[in-house]
Amino acid sequence: MQDVERDLRRIIHGMVTTDLALARRTLDTYYTDDVVLVHPYLVANGKEEMFEVFQMWTGSQTILTPEIFNTTYNEETKTGIVEFAQNFYPKALGGIVPLKVRLMSVVKWRETPEGMKIYHHRDIHIPTSFIEYTPLLGPFYDTTYRRIAHKVLTKSYQIADRVGIWSIAPALVSTAATALSYVGIKLSLPAPRTSVMEQIEQAQHLAEPVPAKPEPAPAKVLRVTPSTA
């Protein structure tokens, strides 16, 4: 594929916008009809459902613009990654409060009769970016809250450790679980989930070029020279 970086940037600018006509053109140009959008808060199946997500998000903002930091593409896996931020002014806050969230989009292409198109789109949010970029709260979170949180959390752990909470709590939970099992209630862990950082690492791994395997060394041929009597 040629000009992949250009296309990735056009895709982001075509989605992070309040111009629904541009969003529609972006979908029709770059996405398959059966595309799957995997978002932290929802899943959309098909181009029309994906457009409905755009309608919901863009219609909720007075201003919506992207800020692109980095683009990566792996030719081997046909996977592109874009790291960017969305700058938006929610109508729910009067359209005057600026907010920002940082995220990563992972898109996968496949061959179609119309050329290469995206059939899978996954968005990965950086949750703390909501707080970090919020006016007034963001600077307080960075400069004050984290310092206070460090002292509060570590001191709380030390006090609980001295009291013996970390020994008492497991015993109490184990006793409660045994009692609940008698009435048919069994405690179990939820299905394993992938953390945000693991998702990012997996996405970056997909975008890394696959190293070429070294060619095996040619086999040595043993030549026997017949001796003359």
Q: Where are the alpha helices (DSSP H) in 42-195?
A: 47-59, 129-132, 137-140, 146-163, 165-181
Burial label, 185 (beta-carbon count in 10 A; 0-12, 13-18, 19+)? exposed
- 3 state SS of 183: coil
Q: Work out the pLDDT band at 225, boundaries 50, 70, 90.
A: low
Sign (positive or negative) of CA dihedral 154, 156, 162, 166: negative
Q: What is the pLDDT of residues 41-91, one digit of tens each?
A: 899 999 999 999 999 999 999 999 999 999 999 999 999 999 999 999 999
Burial label, 210 (beta-carbon count in 10 A; 0-12, 13-18, 19+)? exposed
- Rounded to a whole number of angstroms, the distance between the first and last alpha carbons of the chain is 68
pTM to 2 decimals?
A: 0.64
Q: Please check whether residue 203 is in contact with residue 81, taking contact to mean a CB–CB distance below 8 angstroms.
A: yes
Highest mean pLDDT among 23-37, 159-173, 184-198, 205-219: 23-37
Distance, CA of 148 to CA of 80 (rounded, Å): 39
Q: What secondary structure letter does DSSP report for 41?
A: T
Pick from 39-43, 54-58, 161-165, 208-212: least confident: 208-212
**Chain center to CA of 190:** 21
Q: Work out the pLDDT band at 149, boundaries 50, 70, 90.
A: confident
Instruction: Spell out the domains of the chain, with CATH numbers in brackets.
Output: 4-132 (3.10.450.50)
Q: What is the pLDDT of residues 166-209, one digit of tens each?
A: 777 777 777 777 776 776 666 565 556 655 556 666 666 666 66
pLDDT of residue 207: 61
Q: What secondary structure letter does DSSP report for 128?
A: T
Q: What secondary structure letter does DSSP report for 124?
A: E
